[in-house]
Structure 1
Amino acid sequence: MPRPILYSTIVSQPCRAVLLTADSIGLELEVREVSLMAQDQLKNSFTKINPQHTVPTLDDNGDIIWDSHAIMSYLVGKYGKNDDLYPKDLTKRALVDQRLHFDSGILFALLRQISYPIFFDNVKTVPEEKNKLVKEGYDFLNIFLEGKKWLAGDSYTLADISCVTTLTSLAVLVPIDSYPNIVSWVKTCEDEIKGYARLGAPGNTAFHEKIQSHLQSPGQD
């Protein structure tokens, strides 16, 4: 059977989360790079399979799924050898789901709201109201991690994979230095999530470089 196809781009946090999930369960994907700057996602060939024209998009032998969180849980359910990343126990799964919604509804939503104007509208600073909301999100995350190694259990889950890919990119815009639990957790994720150095870090570095190239320090012309 052909490998599942993932339409992806290296600078996308959700795409990296899917790649890390696949690597964690030993699943080899066929990755097809989509250039957002070249608007590949708006081409007819892509909108036919995903009218919302977002990445990541998964084509699993004709079954089309988009949204990273949906893709990640699907891959674990279909191809995972166990349920470590996404527990079948409903109470444990509910906690993972809550953290995934925290990522999509707060962390990634804010990252998108801040970064898109920087990339596309020549905005040079993080608006104060967005900065405040990010720090509020950091406060919550710091509390979630109090006395814990991982976000939702005794080993890493989809919650950690999803949140850390977003958080490490968001940190270039709003630093995490004053949140010790988050700093410690990020280091743990970098060290222990399978494939992070190969699949997570390079894309995050590329995102940081792109953001910094668009930002302008106060006082510069």
Structure 2
Amino acid sequence: MGVKLYTLDASPPARAAMMALEIFNVPFEKIDVNLGEGQHLTPEYLKKNPMHTVPVLEDGNLILHDSHTILTYLADTYGKDDSWYPKDIKKRALVDQKLFFDSAILYTRGRNITYSLIMEGKKTKEQKHLDLIEEAYGFMEVFLSRTTYIAADHVTIADVSALSSMSSMVNLQKFDENRYPKTAAWYKKMKSTPYCKKYNDHGEKALLELL
């Protein structure tokens, strides 16, 4: 049946899933979901994902609808080695910890603003939300002061997930490279990767246009 990904380029989680498919060399059918036309609310889509979000991954009879779960599944199933998602329990726990950090902090704090502007029609960004993003940059700097990448001294799927969120956040609140030099160095490295250029950059611009 092949792998299918229901996606939206402007969505950070969807971009993370597409980057992971590229990293693990998984051919897939890209199915764009037009939220403006309500395609995420059709009975067919709700059957796949009752939460009506993107991305949704179909691999045979398996359906997954959380980007972090999709990344771990792809790494375990299609990864040539375990560097992206270590099998060692303690090393894996550190990657999981940063995946949860992305889900709870990075992505959520960016979404607080994008949702209010795009879906609720607000014209300005609330300062309290900008302050929370600034705090998130501080967390990143601490993590990256301990290891080269956010979960280890080599790149993992946690970095891919964080990249998709960070590349959207910087369009909401730029970070000071002098204040966060480790974060700036990490961000430049991740932005230069071929998978970012292929599947993240275009979506980042698409979200900026919506904003």
Q: TM-score, normalised by structure 1?
A: 0.91
Residue 96 of structure 1, CA deviation = 0.6
Structure 2 letter corresponding to 1:182: T
2:141 match: 142
RMSD (Å) for aligned C-alpha atoms: 1.2
Name the SS for the 1:126 alignment partner.
Answer: coil
Q: Where does residue 198 of structure 1 map in the other structure?
A: 198
Ranges of 4+ aligned residues in structure 1 off by more than 6 Å: none
CA distance in 2, matches of 1:196, 1:181: 19
Alignment match, 1:186? 187
What secondary structure sits across from 1:92 in the alignment? helix
Task: Provide the residue aligned with 2:9 in structure 1.
Answer: 10
Residues matched between the structures, number: 209
> How far off is 1:161 after superposition?
0.1
- Report the secondary structure of 2:134's partner residue: helix
CA-CA distance at 1:149 after TM superposition: 2.7
**SS of match in other structure, 1:6:** strand
Matched AA of 1:186:
Y
> Residue 151 of structure 2 aligns with which residue?
152
Partner Cα distance (2:100, 2:50) in 1: 23
SS of equivalent to 1:74? helix
Structure 2 counterpart of 1:217? none
Shift of 1:118: 0.1
SS at match of 2:30: strand
CA distance, structure 2, for counterparts of residue 11 and residue 93 of structure 1 = 29
Q: Which amino acid letter does the alignment assign opposite residue 90 of structure 1?
A: I
What displacement does 1:147 show? 5.7
- Once residues 154 and 26 of structure 2 are traced to their aligned partners in structure 1, the CA distance between those partners, rounded to angstroms, is 19
Separation in 2, partners of 1:36, 1:46: 11
> Tell me, which stretches of 5 or more residues in structure 2 are unaligned?
none
Q: Look up the match of 2:160.
A: 161
Cα deviation digits, residues 177-199 of structure 1 (max 9, x gap):
2422211111000123x421111
The 5 A counterparts of 1:63-74 are: 63-74=62-73
Tell me, in whole angstroms, the C-alpha distance in 2 between the residues paired with 1:118 and 1:170. Answer: 13
TM-aligned CA deviation for residue 173 of structure 1:
0.8
Identity of aligned residues (%): 35
d(CA) in 2 for partners of 1:50, 1:32:
14
Shift of 1:99: 0.6
CA distance in 2, matches of 1:147, 1:122: 40
Structure 1 distance, partners of 2:23, 2:154, is 12
**Residue 29 of structure 1 aligns to which amino acid in structure 2?**
F
| 1:165 CA drift (Å) | 0.7
- The reply to whether residue 58 of structure 1 matches residue 57 of structure 2 is yes
Task: Tell me the residue number matched to 1:126.
Answer: 125
Aligned letter for 1:196? C
* C-alpha separation in 2, matches of 1:156 and 1:103: 15
- The unaligned stretches of length 5 or more in structure 1 are 212-221
